[in-house]
Every structure is written in C-alpha cells, then in structure tokens.
C-alpha cells in the first residue's frame, strides 16, 4: 500500500531525540507489510515508525478479520473474544461507576467500534456520546445496537466541561493527534472528571515471550506502544495524575492465542493458554506487568 508516511525525528511523546529502532513487526491482519518499532530512552514509550498518516491509514483497517470494526464471530478466537467481552462489559461499567463515584452520569466513549460499551452504559442509564472514525463500524453499530455513533472528528466541536468520564478502550494507541486529544480531554471533562485509558503493555511477560510476533504490536494500526512508566510521564506532561491502575487479565490469553498463530502459522491453544497464564502469574505480584492495563487519570 502506498501512502504518505509519518517519520519521527523526535519522540512523539516527550520530543526527545534519544530514539532508536528495536524491532520490526509484521501486519498480519491486512497488508502483511513490516514496520519498524522505535524506542525512546527518555520516556520508555515506543512508536511505529513510517506509519501511514491520518488520511491514508484507513485501508489498514479494512478487513473482516479486524474485529473491532467488523464485530465478526468467525473462527474460534473471535468467538472467544465475544464470550469474554460479554463478561468484561459488566466489569467496565462497574469500574466506571466506582472510580467516578456516580451511578449515572455523562460519558464520552472514543473509538466506540461497533458500540457494545456505549450500549452497555446507555442501558445502565448513562448519557453517552460515542465517537468512531470508521464509517463501517458506525454502520454496524446502528444495525446491531440501534445507536448513532458520531465521527471521531467531532471531538473538537463538543461543548466544554460536558463529561463526568471519558473512556478509550484500546484506542489511544491508534490516535494520530495524540497531544491534541489530551488538550481536548482537559477541555471536555467536568471538574473532578475522570479519564479512563486501556492500552497494551509492551513490558508484559507475554510481550517478551513472543517478541516481534506479539499480536498487540498490531502495526501499523497501533501507532504507539506504551509502558507503565511511559504512560505516567505522558500523563504528567499533559496535566493529569494517575489515580489507579487496573489489570486486564483476559488480554494475556487472547493476545497469546493470536501470537501463536502469527509466530507458527497455526493456533496452539494449549501453549497459548500456558503463555497467558505465565504472564498473568508474573503480574499477580506487580500488576504493572499485565498484558494490558487500565489507567484512571484525573486532572492535576
């Protein structure tokens, strides 16, 4: 695929010049191209180098295998994803109610996909605005859940101090305008509002086990690859404090199953479950080693 590419000379998080390549990962979902992943020695976050810019990234999402947009249940791994999601939607709702301290409020969900979480919160009595950049995903949300999601560009025109909580479930790693979004988060949150961000953790044990085959690199759709220390530094830079961190235990198993497929060309369920379990056991004593983490942020 030809595209206008984004090449970084400085770290896109902290602007440091101390950046260097660490590995090359393959796009297993759409293009089968390889992309370099670079590391910042100062903030410890990573980023995908030479990614398509915002105007050209769209084709890399156009696949029936990209579950966040297609909502496909084809194949064992995707069926398992749906089963786990039906459980985790309830845990996400309870987490939002707990960290905000309110039963019903105003929520902005960014990168809403096909609208499963938006629907869950609407059914719980929340006033919800859902933003989704992909038109196919928005259409699937309308057909599946009967909800109208708005374009992601609407984030820049929403009224200020409108939301008790803003959620991004595995979305921040996809956002080209990273610092612009954080400025909007600050503008859109009510006093005392919370920002809830879930992202993969490249410092997890399953990431180390699979190396360049780790499914959560998901290049080039994942523009950024976060460490807990890197998220903390980014939050501080943008005027937020991390209030709490919560592990996403199921992700280690799901990512390991995909990684086995990518590494060996075939699924190995037993080995993937062992790798996922090993990763979670390593994170029991230190949740910052979990495969994916939810960060709850509040304004300074």
Q: What is the pLDDT of residues 104-115, one digit of tens each?
A: 999 999 999 999
d(CA 165, CA 100): 7
d(CA 135, CA 155): 16
Query: Token pair of 300, please?
Result: 């300074």
Return the closest-CA partner of residue 48 out of 183, 225, 188: 225
pLDDT band at 74 (very low <50, low <70, confident <90, very high): low
Q: What is the mean pLDDT of the chain?
A: 93
* Residue whose pair of structure tokens reads 């937020």 in the numeric block: 240
d(CA 51, CA 220): 6
Q: Cα dist. 290→3, 58, 280, 294 in Å?
A: 34, 30, 6, 10
Distance of CA 69 to the CA centre of its chain: 13
Q: Is the pLDDT of residue 71 over 60?
A: no
pLDDT (tens digit per residue) in 16-63: 999 999 999 999 999 999 999 999 999 999 999 999 999 999 999 988
DSSP for 122-161 reads HHTT-EEEEE-S-HHHHHHHHHHH---PBPGGGGGTSPSS
pLDDT band at 73 (very low <50, low <70, confident <90, very high): low
CATH-assigned architecture of domain 5-299 = 3-Layer(aba) Sandwich (3.40)
What pLDDT does 1 receive?
44
pLDDT band at 84 (very low <50, low <70, confident <90, very high): confident
CB 15 within 8 A of CB 194: no
What pLDDT does 153 receive?
96
What pLDDT does 87 receive?
84
Long-range pairs for 149-156 at CB < 8 Å and ≥24 separation? 149/112, 149/115, 149/118, 152/110, 152/111, 155/110, 155/131, 155/181, 155/184, 155/188, 156/180, 156/184
Q: Is the pLDDT of residue 130 over 50?
A: yes
CB-count exposure of residue 161 (10 Å: 0-12, 13-18, 19+): exposed
Mean pLDDT of 187-191: 98
pLDDT (tens digit per residue) in 206-252: 999 999 999 999 999 999 999 999 999 999 999 999 999 999 999 99
pTM: 0.93
Q: Cα dist. 193→5, 248, 297 in Å?
A: 36, 22, 9
């Amino acid at each position: 695929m030809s595209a206008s590419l984004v090449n970084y000379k400085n770290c896109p998080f902290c602007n440091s010049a101390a950046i260097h390549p660490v590995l090359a990962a393959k796009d297993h979902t759409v293009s089968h191209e390889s992309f370099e992943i670079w590391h910042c020695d100062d903030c410890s976050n990573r980023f995908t180098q030479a990614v398509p810019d915002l105007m050209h990234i769209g084709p890399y999402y156009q696949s029936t295998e990209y579950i966040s947009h297609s909502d496909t249940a084809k194949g064992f791994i995707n069926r398992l994803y749906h089963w786990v999601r039906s459980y985790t939607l309830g845990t996400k709702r309870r987490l939002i109610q707990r960290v905000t301290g309110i039963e019903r409020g105003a929520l902005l969900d960014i990168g809403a996909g096909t609208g499963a979480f938006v629907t869950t919160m609407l059914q719980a009595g929340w006033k919800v605005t859902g933003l989704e950049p992909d038109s196919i995903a928005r259409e699937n949300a309308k057909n599946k859940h009967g909800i109208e999601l708005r374009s992601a560009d609407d984030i820049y025109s929403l009224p200020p101090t409108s939301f008790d909580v803003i959620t991004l479930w595995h979305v921040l790693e996809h956002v080209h305008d990273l610092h612009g979004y954080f400025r909007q988060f600050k503008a859109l949150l009510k006093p005392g509002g919370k920002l809830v961000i879930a992202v993969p953790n490249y410092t997890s044990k399953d990431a180390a086990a699979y190396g360049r085959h780790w499914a959560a690199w998901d290049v080039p759709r994942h523009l950024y690859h976060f460490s807990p220390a890197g998220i903390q530094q980014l939050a501080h830079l943008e005027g937020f404090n991390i209030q709490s961190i919560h592990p996403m235990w199921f992700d280690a198993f799901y990512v390991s199953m995909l990684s086995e497929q990518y590494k060996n060309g075939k699924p190995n369920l037993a080995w993937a479950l062992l790798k996922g379990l090993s990763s979670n056991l390593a994170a029991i004593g230190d949740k910052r080693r979990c495969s994916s983490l939810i960060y709850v942020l509040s304004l300074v």
